[in-house]
Amino acid sequence: MKRALDAAGSSLTSFFHSIRFRLTLWFVLILAVVLAVFSVYIYLSQARDLQFDAAARMRDKFVHVQDYLQRAQWDPADLSAGTVPGSTEPLQKGDVLILADITGSVLQQWGQQISASDPMWKALPDIGSQHPDGSIFEHRASVIGQNEQPVPTDYLFVMTPVVRGGQLLGFLVLGSKSDLAVQSRRLTVSLAVGSLAMLAMAFLGGLWLADRAMRPVSQIALAAREISEGDLDRRIHLRGRDELARLAQTFDDMIGRLQAALNRQRRFTADASHELRTPLTIINLEAGRALSSRRTSEEYRRALEIVEAEGGRMARLVNDLMTLARMDMGEAILKLEELDLGEVAREAVERLQPLAAERSVKLGAGDLDSLCIRGDRQYLLQMASNLLENGIKYAGSGQSVRIEVRHEDGRALVRVSDTGPGIPVEHLPLLFDRFYRVDAARSQNGVDPTSPSGSGLGLSIVAWIVKVHGGTIHVDSKINAGTTVEVTFPLLEVPQSRS
Ligand code: ADP
């Protein structure tokens, strides 16, 4: 029971805090203000009209009564009770006709009797002086009821001064029961009940509307809750073209990007551990084999060479991984300077001559123009070295690798080409992906330290270096004819054309 109460309490709290409730509340509040202003306006104008009509009716009645008195040849200026017509013919039920002198003492009353102690009589001279031409006033008079008791009743009075020879002698007052207060009360009740009913309907309608409008938000929230790290396949797929559908689409796109990033990261981790495991396994195997029984010094030497090669491979791999990690985190700091790209290419060739000689590859340089660009010498040297090393590694013995630096179409062009086996065209778009190798078996043969070995990170590092220098890279390859990699950079100054 307590739990049910708690649950009801918390769902009520969340309802009161919900946007749909607050939206509805604001909507109802605004409507309430509008209705209040409208009701006050209606009340005032209606009340004025009612008063106006009642006053007009009173005046008509007074004229009628005065006509009658005139026809009966009764002159109120006589102030004599003896000449008063005995009939109350022109008066209707509840009406009263009073003749009072200037002190407010009642001389004569016809029709309904009003208590002699009513304060109105005392006030008559004042009222008369304020409204000399017989205007209308409202008063709650003490009417003498059936058992001679005064009953307060709303009356409307019209009065006219009685004058003879320019002298005020008294007042002739006609009173008639007034239902103005009742009508005003009825109007107030109608307006209040109508307004409350409208507010209630607006509240329910507003809740329904807000609920409809907010339903996609609940859908988005539910989907977001269901999407966990392991379930990034889930999408909201909200239909429509409104703001919420656009929000859901943005959300779906974001999840898509997150999923791609997570997949990349997973693949990267798996690839990196796989790459490190292979040389470690080889080192373990070789060491175990060398230690298992007595070997010749030639065999020990061979085992140590393999261990050294694999150790070198691991060191290179860890180096590459660190470079990539620094790049990803934006921590790779470029030491930008004006440099000669031809000179950088020459340095790279010198650096790789020993490797080329070891692999019996002819490494040569074409035109190495002196082209001035702005860049980081170390990174550009690494780029040229990676490209030349790939050529040397994959071309095979007896083949040739060549580098040239030229000015082309207003940019500095570095072209590295080889006469090696080439790369199948379907692999070209993927070459710059991390750990991507065209033929893993061909490019990684750790048992033979002289065979090409690589981890598939070289070209992704090259691509990053080219990108941060504002350059472009393009690979062209033909099977059994060779591979050409072209990199261009913006020039700092356009060189004079050679004559
Ligand atoms: P790796 O460290 O394996 O050399 P790269 O990213 O430099 O990695 O190269 C990716 C793959 O592209 C290599 O594994 C290789 O199969 C292929 N490749 C790169 N350069 C050449 C080339 N000049 N000739 C043939 N294949 C190449």
pLDDT score at 35:
95
Residue at 166: amino acid letter: G
**Cβ < 6 Å from ligand 1: which residues?**
390-391, 394, 418, 420, 423, 431, 436-439, 443, 454-459, 483
Mutate to test the pocket of ligand 1, among 437, 442, 475 (most ligand atoms within 8 A of CB): 437
Distance, in Å, from the CA atom of 110 to the CA atom of 87, rounded to the nearest integer, reads 8
Cβ–Cβ under 8 Å, residues 447 and 306: yes
Distance, in Å, from the CA atom of 383 to the CA atom of 434, rounded to the nearest integer, reads 15
Distance, in Å, from the CA atom of 429 to the CA atom of 474, rounded to the nearest integer, reads 10
pLDDT score at 452:
54
Task: Output the residue whose Cα is nearest ligand 1's atom 20.
Answer: 390
Please name the residues in contact with 2: beta carbons below 8 A apart, sequence gap of 6 or more: none
Smallest CA-to-CA distance from 487 within 471, 468, 470 is with 471
Annotate 416-461 with DSSP letters as a single string. EEE-S----GGGGGGTTSTT--S-HHHHB-TTSTTS-B--S-HHHH
pLDDT score at 441:
45
Q: At what angle do helices 377-395 and 458-468 cross, to 10 degrees?
A: 150
Distance, in Å, from the CA atom of 48 to the CA atom of 457, rounded to the nearest integer, reads 92
Mutate to test the pocket of ligand 1, among 275, 363, 443 (most ligand atoms within 8 A of CB): 443
Structure tokens at 44: 């005032």
Please name the residues in contact with 389: beta carbons below 8 A apart, sequence gap of 6 or more: 352, 355, 458
Annotate 231-290 with DSSP letters as a single string. -TT------SSSHHHHHHHHHHHHHHHHHHHHHHHHHHHHHHHHHHHHHHHHHHHHHHHH
Over its length of 499 residues, how does the chain's per-residue pLDDT go in tens digits?
Answer: 677 778 777 788 888 888 888 989 999 999 999 999 999 999 999 999 999 999 899 888 888 888 887 777 777 776 665 555 555 667 888 888 888 888 888 888 888 888 878 888 888 888 777 766 667 888 888 888 777 888 889 999 988 888 878 788 888 889 999 989 899 999 999 999 999 999 999 999 999 998 888 888 888 888 888 877 667 888 888 888 888 888 889 989 998 998 888 888 888 888 888 889 989 999 999 999 999 988 899 999 999 999 999 999 899 899 888 888 888 887 778 899 999 999 999 999 999 999 999 999 999 999 999 999 999 999 999 999 999 999 999 998 999 999 999 999 999 999 999 999 999 999 999 999 888 888 754 444 444 444 556 788 999 999 999 999 999 999 999 999 999 999 999 998 766 655 4
State the closest ligand 1 atom to the C-alpha of 437, by its place in the atom list counted from 1.
14
Task: Output the residue whose Cα is nearest ligand 1's atom 19.
Answer: 390
Between the CA of 438 and the centroid of ligand 1 the distance, in Å, is: 7
State the closest ligand 1 atom to the C-alpha of 386, by its place in the atom list counted from 1.
7
Cβ–Cβ under 8 Å, residues 237 and 253: no
Mutate to test the pocket of ligand 1, among 385, 388, 438, 473 (most ligand atoms within 8 A of CB): 438
- pTM, two decimals, is 0.57
Residue at 291: amino acid letter: L
Task: Output the residue whose Cα is nearest ligand 1's atom 23.
Answer: 391
Structure tokens at 309: 């090669």
pLDDT score at 89:
65
Which residue bears the tokens 């060739």?
A: 349
pLDDT score at 464:
93
Distance, in Å, from the CA atom of 175 to the CA atom of 153, rounded to the nearest integer, reads 11
pLDDT score at 499:
43
DSSP 8-class letter at 475: E
Smallest CA-to-CA distance from 158 within 143, 138, 144, 140 is with 138
Give the number of other Cβ atoms within 10 Å of residue 406's Cβ. 17
